[in-house]
Amino acid sequence: MQEKKSPPHIAAHGFCRDCGKEHTLHGGEARDHCRELMGFLEKEGRIDLDVAMGDGNPLLRTDSLFGEARGKMFGVLVCRAADGSRRILKAFSGQYNGLWEVPGWAPPIFDVAVFTRIYADIEPRIKELGRTIRLTRPHTEAWRELVRRRKDLSRQWMRDIHGLYTLTNFRGEGRPLAEAFAGSGGIPTGTGDCCAPKLFNQAVQEHLTPVAMAEFYWGRENSSRTRQHGQFYPSCATKCAPILGFMLCGLETVIQ
């Protein structure tokens, strides 16, 4: 399915159920900073921004983005600090080669240590059930029970993970992810891990006022061919828009 695109000048948007309004943020000068970042990625082939070439972490090279793992979204948020100076925040979507936290990049919204504990507890159990299912005769009563148990465990896993996310908007109001999500149906896997939510969360935590944001894709095109190397894209409609309305609420008052 072709993703519905917002107007090209809008970088992030979403409807807020609390105030009943659609909130947006434009690309503006953030695109220029994105192009600078693209230049660094092209020249250096890595994302560790403040480390000398020889001292870089091999996991932070960009080679993998052009292989089977395919590319990744990157984002830049231009902010105004309390003293009037500009701050430039940067983010990558999800993990980077298994790393949630990389110096110089926006951190995830959740507590990584707690996430890791939940993952270590439930993920092996789901895998073990999967192995047992493959060894069990399909469509028997035992097989159906194993499939049900795995599905229930996966759902519990997602509820536990989503429970780690608390979103805070520019009015200073906090909501659990499940309450802030304004989309239809269930919460998609990875909601809250894209560039835009990470960037706005960091801005709120550091008392910064966003003035412009832009995101681009870097690496081999994605499997659905909706993302091309070096191209700009607005925040996604399925995972970002349903929470960005809440996260952006109050920004228009702060900017004034």
72-80 and 209-218 strand pairing: antiparallel
124, 144, 164 - which closes a domain: 164
Above 80 in pLDDT, residue 172?
yes
State pTM to two decimals: 0.91
Boundaries of domain holding 218: 10-107+167-255
- Collapsing DSSP to helix, strand or coil, 199 comes out as helix
Shared domain check, 89 and 50: yes
CA atoms lying within 13 Å on the CB side of residue 25: 35
pLDDT-based confidence at residue 7 (cuts at 50, 70, 90):
very low
* Mean pLDDT value of segment 185-200: 95
Whether 196 and 207 map to the same domain: the answer is yes
The reply to whether 182 and 203 lie within a common domain is yes
What is the total count of domains within the chain? 2
- In a domain, residue 249? The reply is yes
Whether residues 144 and 227 share a domain: the answer is no
Same domain membership, residue 143 and residue 20: no
Q: Within 13 Å of residue 3, how many CA atoms lie on the same side as its CB?
A: 16
Residues 6+ apart with CB under 8 A from 86: 78, 79, 80
pLDDT band at 178 (very low <50, low <70, confident <90, very high): very high
